[in-house]
């Protein structure tokens, strides 16, 4: 069993109610702050604005809340996360603290990962050899990060990793960040906070975010098409009309920003646009399989990797939440290419990969199967942000406000990028900055008590 630590040791309400739909209710013409994007960062920002007794509207292009957190409770009859599925370091996790205050229920995720070599589990000596090799690689990246020039993680690796080279590259690169080590900044990778423990939400992380955003005035199916800024105020153009505001918090993904899916007038400053381009999203998708009877013989939420000979590999999580569901996660360049081939090709890979590890008989009773394809989600266009070599400073640059525009999202967090709590903290940070730009709220006039009549 490989421990996870060892692996990485290395209020404002509208008459129509909090939820608005463009087709059902008109948008307000003016609010204090418009928040664009109803993922973790957007929900955190909007909650912070509301707590300050300022008016806010959350506009979301998609037809649901949650962003890259999406729970599917219907396809398999039990909740399964199609996007982010873990909250790390729960004792210090901002999302966990808020969620527990509203009664959210969490479950611990096993801290170990099994290592498979062909159709057998790795022996103790083999697992130890892998861990030693992994630690060496991790330290080499950390050492390279202290250099004057930011290099790729691949360039920093020792040249004698032997049979473990591809497995190490998968664990430190694609599986952790969605990007292959050759496209990943050594400085950025070294600054990623260690994920020593993890918990999952019993209701699904997507549904948890829906709960945390339930009281926020939200317009779904309402993409922001253009943001006007440069003066004292801002305005956000949507198909349902224009919204005037004192400030706007934009939590769109770095790909959406880099590809100018949202227009800015004047244009977004070049330094922020270049920063978004340097933080393009990696690829991370999940193939979900129904395997009743536990034919793989693994425990609840137990994960497994293999000693691979190349990039065509994956991360297995078995018996998710105690259900008969298993997930096969594919990432990096291989995952991107596989996803582009379509859902059928992804499911076929998962079947072939599992058969190679456990035998075809283990899949004899395979039930329903499905797969995510986040690269094709028009309002996301990928998974988590990955800084290319030389672009680590882009996270700080992207977060710098321009005018009364504030950018938030996991891509702007320098140590928790790629995580739900990193996105949440960035949203709270952007909201605090936006509130600092607003004029003080006018105090509510108190009613003078009337004179008592003499009896």
Is beta strand 19-21 parallel, antiparallel or unpaired with respect to 218-220?
A: parallel
Q: Tell me what pLDDT residue 14 has.
A: 31
At 213-242, the pLDDT tens digits run: 999 999 999 999 999 999 999 999 999 999
Q: Tell me what pLDDT residue 442 has.
A: 65
Q: Is 11-102+200-280+379-437 in CATH node 2.30.42.10?
A: no
Question: Quick check: 48 pLDDT over 60?
Answer: yes
At 328-337, the pLDDT tens digits run: 999 999 999 9
Question: Quick check: 18 pLDDT over 80?
Answer: no
Q: Tell me what pLDDT residue 341 has.
A: 98
Give φ, ψ of 294 to 5 degrees. 50, 55
- Percent of the chain clearing pLDDT 90 (strictly above): 89
Tell whether the torsion through CA atoms of 355, 360, 365 and 368 is positive or negative: positive
Residue the block writes with tokens 């960040």: 177
Q: Tell me what pLDDT residue 25 has.
A: 66
Decide if 209 contacts 60 (C-beta within 8 A): no
Residue the block writes with tokens 């950018």: 407
At 375-408, the pLDDT tens digits run: 999 999 999 999 999 999 999 999 999 999 999 9
CA gap 233, 226 in Å, rounded:
14
CA gap 59, 433 in Å, rounded:
19
Q: Tell me what pLDDT residue 112 has.
A: 76
Question: Quick check: 189 pLDDT over 50?
Answer: yes
Nearest C-alpha neighbor of 34 from the set 194, 306, 233, 321: 233
Question: Quick check: 455 pLDDT over 50?
Answer: no
In the chain, where the domains are located: 11-102+200-280+379-437
Q: What is the rounded average pLDDT of the residues 427-453?
A: 75
Q: What is the rounded average pLDDT of the residues 108-115?
A: 90
Decide if 173 contacts 282 (C-beta within 8 A): no
| Confidence band of 448 (pLDDT split at 50, 70, 90) | low
Decide if 151 contacts 186 (C-beta within 8 A): yes
Neighbours of 341 (CB within 10 A): 12
- What's the mean pLDDT when you consider all of the chain? 92
Tokens read off for 319:
């018996």
Tokens read off for 271:
């330094």
Q: Tell me what pLDDT residue 178 has.
A: 98
Q: Tell me what pLDDT residue 195 has.
A: 87
Q: Tell me what pLDDT residue 170 has.
A: 98
Nearest C-alpha neighbor of 118 from the set 126, 106, 110, 128: 126
Q: What is the rounded average pLDDT of the residues 418-442?
A: 93
Nearest C-alpha neighbor of 298 from the set 280, 318, 284, 281: 318
| Helix, strand, or coil (residue 241) | strand
At 262-311, the pLDDT tens digits run: 999 999 999 999 999 999 999 999 999 999 999 999 999 999 999 999 99
Please tell me whether the overall predicted TM-score, pTM, comes out greater than 0.85 for this model.
yes
Rg (CA), the chain: 23
Q: Tell me what pLDDT residue 26 has.
A: 82
Question: Quick check: 447 pLDDT over 90?
Answer: no
């Amino acid at each position: 069993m490989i421990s996870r630590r060892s692996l990485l040791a290395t209020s404002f309400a509208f008459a129509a109610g909090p939820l608005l739909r463009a087709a059902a209710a008109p948008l307000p013409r003016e609010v204090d702050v418009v928040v664009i994007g109803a993922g973790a960062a957007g929900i955190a920002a909007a909650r912070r604005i509301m707590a300050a007794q300022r008016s806010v509207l959350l506009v979301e292009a998609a037809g649901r809340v949650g962003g890259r957190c999406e729970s599917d409770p219907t396809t398999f009859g039990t909740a399964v996360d199609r996007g982010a599925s873990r909250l790390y370091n729960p004792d210090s996790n901002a999302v966990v603290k808020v969620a527990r205050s509203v009664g959210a229920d969490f479950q611990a995720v096993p801290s170990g990962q099994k290592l498979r070599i062909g159709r057998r589990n790795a022996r103790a000596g083999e697992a130890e050899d892998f861990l030693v090799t992994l630690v060496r690689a991790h330290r080499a990246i950390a050492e390279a990060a202290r250099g004057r020039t930011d290099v790729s993680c691949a360039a920093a690796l020792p040249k004698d990793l032997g049979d473990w080279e591809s497995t190490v590259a998968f664990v430190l690169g694609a599986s952790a960040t969605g990007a292959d080590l050759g496209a990943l900044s050594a400085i950025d990778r070294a600054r990623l906070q260690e994920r020593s423990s993890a918990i999952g939400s019993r209701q699904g992380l997507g549904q948890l975010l829906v709960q945390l955003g339930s009281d926020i005035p939200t317009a779904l199916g309402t993409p922001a098409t253009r943001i006007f800024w440069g003066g004292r105020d801002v305005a956000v153009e949507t198909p349902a009309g224009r919204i005037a505001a004192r400030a706007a918090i934009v939590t769109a993904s770095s790909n959406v920003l880099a590809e100018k899916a949202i227009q800015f007038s004047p244009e977004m400053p070049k330094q922020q646009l270049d920063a978004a381009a340097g933080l393009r999203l990696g690829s991370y998708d999940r193939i979900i399989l129904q395997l009743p009877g536990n034919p793989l013989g693994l425990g609840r939420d137990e994960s497994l990797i293999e000693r691979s000979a190349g990039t065509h590999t994956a991360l297995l999580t078995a018996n998710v939440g105690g259900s008969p569901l298993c997930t096969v996660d594919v990432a990096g360049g291989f995952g991107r290419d596989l996803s582009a081939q379509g859902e059928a090709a992804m499911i076929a890979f998962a079947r072939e990969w599992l058969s190679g590890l456990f035998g075809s008989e283990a899949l004899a009773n395979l039930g329903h199967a499905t797969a995510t394809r986040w690269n094709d989600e028009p309002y996301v266009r990928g998974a988590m942000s990955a800084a290319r070599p030389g672009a680590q400073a882009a996270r700080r640059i992207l977060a710098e406000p321009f005018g009364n525009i504030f950018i938030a999202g996991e891509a702007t967090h320098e140590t928790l990028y790629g995580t739900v709590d990193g996105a949440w903290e960035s949203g709270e940070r952007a909201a605090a900055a936006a509130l600092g730009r607003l004029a003080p709220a006018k105090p509510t006039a108190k009613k003078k008590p009337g004179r008592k009549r003499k009896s």
